[in-house]
């Protein structure tokens, strides 16, 4: 009887450890390696405020940021996690729509299509800090 109680006690003490080892909470270990990305966006030499910069990797979640009045941006990956997946990215720079497009019309971004809907921009994000500036021309 004494040995069965000891076995039961041993099982009960190990049981929580077994389950806690297999129950990841989707924490930082599930996240890919990221590099921080900051920079400045200009159009014809002038800072471009209030535009969205989006870095899209071949696989995984895109990162984006919005420029401030000086054209500076910092990419965010997820909630409060800053950065972008390490590797090659297609980049788009767009002006957010302030109002819905009227029926029968299409929205025309003031930024040329070669920087957004038909982007030709590609950048490489490396581990650590990345400063990537964009000097756009109209």
User: Which residues on neighbouring strands pair with residue 130, listed in sequence order?
Assistant: 37
Answer CATH for 34-98+108-131 from 2.60.120, 3.30.420, 2.60.40, 1.10.10: 2.60.40
**25-36 pLDDT per residue, tens:** 445 567 899 999
Predicted local confidence at residue 2, as pLDDT: 52
Average pLDDT for runs of 10 along the chain of length 138? 47 42 50 95 97 96 97 95 97 86 81 94 98 97
Q: Output the six-digit token pair for 52.
A: 């969205």
Cα separation, 82 vs 94, whole angstroms: 20
Predicted local confidence at residue 10, as pLDDT: 45
**34-62 pLDDT per residue, tens:** 999 999 999 999 999 999 999 999 999 99
Predicted local confidence at residue 44, as pLDDT: 96
Distance between terminal CA atoms of the chain?
86
For the chain, give every domain's residue range: 34-98+108-131
Note the pTM of the prediction, 2 decimals: 0.75
Using alpha carbons, select from 75, 69, 34 the residue that is nearest to residue 53. 75
Predicted local confidence at residue 102, as pLDDT: 80
């Amino acid at each position: 009887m004494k040995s069965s109680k000891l076995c039961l006690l041993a099982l009960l003490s190990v049981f929580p450890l077994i389950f806690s080892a297999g129950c990841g909470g989707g924490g930082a270990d599930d996240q890919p390696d990221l590099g921080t990305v900051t920079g400045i966006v200009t159009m014809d030499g002038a800072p471009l405020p209030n535009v969205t910069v989006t870095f899209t990797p071949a696989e995984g979640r895109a990162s984006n940021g919005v420029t401030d009045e000086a054209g500076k941006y910092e990419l965010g990956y997820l909630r409060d996690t800053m950065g972008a997946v390490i590797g090659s990215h297609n980049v788009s720079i767009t002006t957010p729509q302030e109002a819905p497009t009227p029926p029968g019309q299409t929205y025309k971004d003031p930024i040329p299509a070669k920087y957004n809907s038909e982007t030709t921009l590609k950048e490489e994000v490396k581990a650590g800090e990345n400063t990537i500036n964009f000097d756009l021309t109209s």
